[in-house]
């Protein structure tokens, strides 16, 4: 608080702020002015968003209010960065509501973190990472993801233990307790109210949603259940927070898919844009452009978040995450019983992991369509790290929903396929197949990811060495692969289904 500083300290910090503002202003066109993430066709993950991008150069030439709005937004971003730098220099990083007793040695209670969906691909490594960093972790999961494996006739390529065996192994290896509760947060509201009321968490990390775009498009029943499960679950949590822990921090795993692809002339912002409506300038949530029922539920989640922040001043962070790649994290690698799940089927397998499996086992590597789709990516270990960073930097009461683009880099799909072809120990070849999705065949993608960068996040980036590690891991478990599930079985419409079923799949050739 300003009132606690001495006058001399206050004067010094004001001077520091002025220096930072001047420095940021003069470096606006330099490479560190606005770190963004762009396609790695140039093999550079972070390049200036103003002077080097053709799309933004075109935008800057527009001699109208749009250009003035963009320049105003840039000035506001520079000011925000200067303020954030000054706050960190004086106060250090924000901490979660309870001080981490193990890392700080203060004797205060450790932060209590509920990890909803903590048995899943992102939830399990996040739960371990938070526990390792001093959080008291409670995993809540209805095991739906395991049941969907049975429904689809598939399984994790890695042999995952039961939740009870997992937490017992973590206790044995680390000496730290993680509690597991089997419960459906989209079930009766009273169950969620009782859960939140009992544990009174400081952080609620929400992974507990049906997360696969293809699965959400598979049948009419899948579409209905994705909407029901995802929206009711989120709303139950919000109501329970308001009733029992209005000071808690909700961290929701969203998706970059809310923005759509190829819809913006320039870099995708972090959640908000400045617009002119008549003569009035205002800041609004960036327009939604979802590409599936799953992505649509994430947009609707954000609508709910904005209402509860406006009406009740809840504290919420929404993380728009890119496609996750990788399997292991420093915590899951400590014991085979802690191994993370690895989905490689066409419904739940993420594109890079799917290509890695095809490469490792000598199958055809099969991009959809032209393979010209450019997507944002993040390593699974960075998912967990970003969640922890978010717990340490909650919004204040009354502050808008924090939206972070949780991405490290972007890649064109066919470039990933070619890289995996080169790494294949079995001589895999890239073979394009019809696209089961309704999406643009080619797109560029530039994404601003300044918020996590401002907290010192240094992400893991994909290179040939990391890709080789992924392939080597998959080879260990090749006997568990169910090959038929690599073929697309979910389609965005009749047109896509007819195109895919007419073409003989090369996977089984």
Q: Which domains does the chain have, with CATH numbers?
A: 112-502 (3.40.50.720)
Q: Give, as one character, the DSSP assignment of residue 277.
A: E
Name the β-bridge partners of 36: 47, 448
Among 36, 255, 296, 473, the one annotated catalytic: 255
Residues near 250 by beta carbon (within 8 Å), at least 6 away in sequence: 203, 204, 206, 237, 238, 241, 305, 314, 315, 316, 317
> Can you give the pLDDT at residue 106?
57
d(CA 185, CA 141): 8
DSSP output for 46-105: EEESSSS-HHHHHHHT--SHHHHHHHHHHHHHHHHHHHHHHHHHHH-S---SS--HHHH-
Q: pLDDT (tens digit, 9 = 90+) per residue, 54-111?
A: 332 222 333 444 444 445 544 544 554 455 445 445 544 434 333 344 445 556 789 9
At residue 336, the pLDDT reads 96
**Statement: residue 277 has pLDDT above 60:** yes
DSSP E strands: which ranges in 86-213? 112-116, 136-141, 178-182, 203-206
Tokens of 340: 């993370």
Taking the CA atoms of residue 480, residue 482, residue 483 and residue 484 in that order, the dihedral angle to the nearest 10 degrees is 180
The Cα 141–Cα 118 span in angstroms is 6
Question: Is 447 in contact with 36 (CB distance < 8 Å)?
Answer: yes
- Among 448, 271, 433, 259, smallest CA distance to 351 is for 433
By C-alpha distance, which of 441, 419, 438 is closest to 430?
419
- Supply the pLDDT for residue 7: 43
Biggest CA pair distance of the chain? 76
Active site residue 255: yes
502 is known as an active-site residue: no
pLDDT: which is higher, 32 or 22: 22
How high is the pLDDT of residue 86? Answer: 55
| Per-residue pLDDT at 142 | 98
pTM: 0.81
Overall average pLDDT of the 469-483 stretch: 90
How confident is the model over 438-453, as a mean pLDDT?
A: 94
DSSP string, 292-309: SHHHHHHHHHHHHHHHHH
The proportion of the chain whose per-residue pLDDT surpasses 70, expressed as a percent, equals 78
**What is the three-class DSSP state of 318?**
strand
Confidence check: pLDDT of 51 > 90: no
Mean pLDDT, residues 316-327 taken together = 96
The Cα 333–Cα 292 span in angstroms is: 34
Confidence of residue 477 (pLDDT cuts 50, 70, 90): very high
Residue 115 to residue 126: CA distance in whole angstroms: 8
Give dist(CA 182, CA 320) in Å, integer: 27
Which among 215, 296, 297, 298 is annotated as catalytic?
A: 298
Cα-based distances in Å from 184 to 117, 139, 141, 334: 9, 12, 6, 29
Q: Is residue 3 over pLDDT 60?
A: no
pLDDT digits over 232-255, tens only?
999 999 999 999 999 999 999 999
Reference 358, options 435, 419, 409, 408; nearest CA is 419
Take residue 65 and report the two structure tokens written for it: 């209010």
pLDDT digits (tens, 9 = 90+) for 279-298: 999 999 999 999 999 999 99
**Secondary structure (DSSP) of 428-446:** --B--B--SS-S-SB----
Active site residue 298: yes
Q: Is the dihedral of CA 310, 311, 315, 321 positive or negative?
A: negative
The pLDDT of residue 82:
54
Is 505 a residue whose pLDDT tops 60? no
Q: What is the pLDDT of residues 162-180, one digit of tens each?
A: 999 999 999 999 999 999 9
Instruction: Give me the pLDDT at residue 300, please.
Output: 98
pLDDT of residue 485: 83
> Which tens digit of pLDDT belongs to each residue from 324-348?
999 999 999 999 999 999 999 999 9
- Catalytic residue, chosen from 70, 294, 308, 477, is 294
Mean pLDDT of the chain: 84
């Amino acid at each position: 608080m300003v009132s606690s500083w001495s006058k001399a300290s206050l004067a010094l910090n004001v001077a520091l702020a002025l220096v930072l503002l001047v420095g940021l202003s003069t470096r606006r066109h330099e490479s560190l002015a606005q770190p963004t993430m762009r396609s790695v066709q140039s093999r550079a993950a972070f390049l200036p968003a103003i002077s080097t991008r053709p799309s933004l150069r075109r935008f800057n030439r527009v001699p109208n209010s749009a250009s003035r709005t963009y320049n105003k937004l840039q000035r506001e971003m520079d000011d925000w960065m200067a303020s954030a730098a000054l706050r960190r220099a004086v106060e250090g990083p924000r901490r979660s509501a309870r001080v981490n007793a193990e890392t700080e040695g203060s004797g205060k209670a450790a932060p209590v973190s509920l990890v909803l969906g903590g048995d899943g691909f992102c939830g399990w490594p996040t739960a371990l990472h938070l526990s390792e960093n001093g959080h008291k972790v409670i995993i809540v999961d209805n095991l739906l993801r395991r049941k969907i494996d049975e429904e689809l006739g598939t399984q994790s390529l890695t042999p995952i233990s039961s939740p009870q065996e997992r937490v017992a192994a973590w206790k044995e290896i680390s000496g730290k307790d993680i509690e597991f509760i089997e419960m459906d947060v989209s079930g009766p509201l009273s169950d969620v109210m009782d859960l939140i009321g009992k544990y009174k968490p400081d952080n609620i990390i929400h992974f507990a949603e049906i997360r696969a775009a293809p699965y959400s498009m598979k049948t009419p029943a899948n579409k209905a259940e994705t909407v029901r499960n995802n929206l009711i679950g989120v709303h139950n949590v919000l109501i329970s927070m308001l009733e029992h822990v209005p000071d808690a921090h909700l961290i929701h795993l969203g998706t970059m898919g809310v923005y759509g692809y190829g819809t913006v002339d320039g870099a995708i912002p972090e959640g908000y844009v400045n617009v002119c409506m008549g003569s009035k300038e205002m800041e609004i949530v960036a327009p939604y452009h979802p590409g599936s029922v799953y992505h649509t539920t994430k947009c609707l989640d954000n609508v709910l978040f904005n209402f509860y922040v406006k009406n009740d001043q809840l504290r919420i962070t929404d993380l728009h995450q890119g496609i996750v790649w990788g399997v292991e994290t420093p915590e899951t690698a400590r014991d085979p019983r802690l191994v993370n799940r690895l989905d490689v089927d066409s419904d739940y397998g993420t594109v890079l992991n799917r290509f890695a499996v095809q490469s490792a086992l000598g199958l055809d590597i099969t991009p959809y369509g032209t393979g010209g789709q450019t997507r944002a990516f993040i390593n699974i270990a960075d998912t967990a790290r970003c969640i922890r960073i978010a717990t340490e930097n909650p919004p204040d009461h009354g502050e808008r929903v924090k939206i972070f683009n949780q991405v490290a880099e972007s890649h064109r799909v066919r470039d990933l396929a070619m890289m995996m072809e080169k790494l294949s120990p079995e001589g895999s070849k890239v073979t394009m197949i019809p696209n089961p999705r309704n999406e643009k065949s080619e797109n560029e993608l530039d994404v601003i990811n300044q918020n996590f960068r401002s907290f010192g996040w240094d992400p893991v980036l994909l290179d040939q060495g990391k890709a080789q590690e992924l392939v080597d891991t998959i080879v260990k478990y090749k006997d568990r692969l169910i090959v038929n599930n690599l073929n697309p079985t979910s389609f965005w419409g009749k047109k896509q289904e007819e195109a895919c079923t007419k073409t003989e799949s090369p996977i089984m050739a």
